[in-house]
Amino acid sequence: MIDESSVEAAISQTISKFGQLDVVVNNAGYGMLGALEELSDKESRQNFDVNVFGSLNVIRKVLPQLRKQQSGHIFNISSIGGFSGNFPGFGIYCATKFAVVGFTESLAAEVKSMGIKATIVEPGYFRTAFLTEGSLAVPNKPIDAYKEVRDSQAAHQNDINNQQPGDPAKAVEVIIEASKSENPPLHLFLRPDAYQVADAKIADVQRDMANWKYLATATNFDEVSA
């Protein structure tokens, strides 16, 4: 959990030095890899405490200054796993990142009239410390029956770690460009894999909507389903 006093101190120091806040990058988070059945309530809540409430703490602390300025841009770092949950073993992590997407969409609507902008950053695989032992938690009581989850765990810890194709420096350059834009994106997907996953999710949703539209929309009191 982020120490709120340290957040306040960092904000105060920044304002004292620069006079205002222009850009806030909210990157609280760590990975959680385990099937939903495997993870205890405590393990799941800890992930939410950092990934969701840690980010919310920062937002609450910076908004008084941004409202005073009538300007500023908040970048909340989510994940492509915050747009699609189709990753075995990442259910809780995805849930935290879905939460970041949801509250950032609401935040953008809440502060738009105040001249404040908000963007959700949804990256794919970048070569960071995300998959190292200190940043990726695994279940205290794994269940062997979840083969897909164990395979995913082994792949992420042994094969993908330190082999991610994404360059973090280039990701930062894109975020900087978005911060300069008069019309920045609400959703900023980073890397080709993020675009591929997002495209697939959008196509799946559109297909489900089309296949079930007739029945699903005939649900008013004055309508009778066939």
Active-site residues: which are they? 78, 93, 97
Phi, psi of 135 (to 5 degrees): -120, -10
DSSP, res 141 = S
- Token match 């937002």: residue? 59
Partners of 117 in beta bridges: 73
* Helix spans in the chain (H): 4-18, 41-48, 54-69, 91-111, 147-154, 168-180, 192-216
Q: How far apart are CA 124 and CA 9, in angstroms?
A: 32
Q: Which residues contact 148 (CB under 8 A, 6 or more apart)?
A: 88, 89
